[in-house]
Amino acid sequence: MSSVLFDIPGPKARARHRLIMIVSVVLTLLALWWALSRFAAKGNLEAAKWTPFLTADIWVNYLIPGLLNTLKAAAISVVLAGAFGLLFGIGRLSENAVIRWISTVIVEFFRSVPVLVMMVAAFGLFSFNRVFEASINPLAAVITGLTLYNGSVVAELLRSGVGGLPKGQSEAGLAIGLTRSQTLRSILLPQAITAMLPALVSQLVVILKDTALGAIITYPELLTTFSQIGSYKSNPVPALIVIALIFIAINYLLTTAAAKIESRLRDKGRATIAKGTIGPPNPVDLKPVEEALIAADENVLHERYRTPDK
């Protein structure tokens, strides 16, 4: 017996897989035991170091303000990166060679520069030229770095998504009288965005995590609070673990929401096709045309092979 993707393992293969699984579980448990023992040896498992997180003081004064700053930077960066990616993604697909070349240079340049380098450069630029107030410079630098890098990635995702669609999609749009820009905007982009939604969501998760780099330029985001809490309560390791769990929870919720949105979009597309809403709005009855063609063929045959009069 075999499936389409792989051969069904036999008794020896199943026994080998069970052995590998057991060894993996044992090694994982040993690593976890070693980590917990090291934490215990350093006193990081003492109740006194974890109870501060059950009080309102730590959450109100440290964790919640840091989380709000993280979400604020991420939300603004997501909107700007989406606009940046859509603009230059369409630019890379333009028929105009100049626009296509400029868009390609911008996208490839900002994709190649590390996010932290762009944040530090933007922070120095804003501070030296007094573009913003001193209190806003760190936030503006974080948003600038995240927007330029992730916007370039989004642009490349859109370009590759459109390029991965069947060629018949664009040909169908041109065949019904749409221009190339109308075909791109009305037919190709909606399909590309739906197809690339998982990759786009993973990029949103990257934006959220990369806000932690703002600690280098004194932006008071969530990760920055672990050192403050550690100095205040002498528990930096528990603080770091709690902050990591917060990041994991937010990213999990974001990924789950995106998966539901993707599923709903795909189901809506299937339902639309099933209802027949895609296609000519006023179907033409071809039966009279077929009858006329058949009658014409019969007349031609009759005229060609009729018996001459004697």
Q: Which CATH number characterizes residue 167's domain?
A: 1.10.3720.10
pLDDT, one tens digit per residue, over 98-138 is 999 999 999 999 999 999 999 999 999 998 888 888 889 99
- Domain with 203 in it: 47-268
Instruction: Output 293 or 130, whichever has higher pLDDT.
Output: 130
Domain membership flag for residue 282: no
Closest listed residue to residue 238, CA positions, set 67, 59, 39, 57:
39
Instruction: Look up the pTM and report it.
Output: 0.73
The arithmetic mean of pLDDT across residues 189-207, rounded, is 80
112 in Cβ contact with 121 (< 8 Å): no
Over 50: is that where the pLDDT of 233 sits? yes
- Worst-scoring range by mean pLDDT, 32-41, 48-57, 168-177? 168-177
Domain membership flag for residue 68: yes
C-alpha–C-alpha distance, residues 115 and 202, integer Å = 16
Total domains in the chain come to 1
What is the per-residue pLDDT for 108? 93
Domain membership flag for residue 99: yes
Q: Which residues pair with 2 in a beta bridge?
A: 7
What is the per-residue pLDDT for 141? 94
Residue in the block written with tokens 């770091």: 240
Over 50: is that where the pLDDT of 1 sits? no
Domain membership flag for residue 280: no
What is the per-residue pLDDT for 161? 82
Over 80: is that where the pLDDT of 48 sits? yes
Domain membership flag for residue 236: yes
Over 80: is that where the pLDDT of 284 sits? no
The arithmetic mean of pLDDT across residues 54-63, rounded, is 90
The arithmetic mean of pLDDT across residues 78-102, rounded, is 90
209 in Cβ contact with 222 (< 8 Å): no
Instruction: Output 272 or 202, whichever has higher pLDDT.
Output: 202
Closest listed residue to residue 269, CA positions, set 178, 197, 180:
197
What is the per-residue pLDDT for 280? 44
What is the per-residue pLDDT for 234? 84
pLDDT, one tens digit per residue, over 254-280 is 888 877 877 776 776 666 555 554 444
Over 50: is that where the pLDDT of 2 sits? no
Give me the phi and psi of 29, to 5 degrees please. Answer: -65, -40
Domain membership flag for residue 42: no
pLDDT, one tens digit per residue, over 139-156 is 999 999 999 999 999 998
Confidence band of 26 (pLDDT split at 50, 70, 90): very high
Domain membership flag for residue 38: no
Domain membership flag for residue 237: yes
The arithmetic mean of pLDDT across residues 69-75, rounded, is 93
Using CB atoms within 10 A of its CB, is residue 157 exposed (0-12), middle (13-18) or buried (19+)?
buried
The arithmetic mean of pLDDT across residues 46-62, rounded, is 89
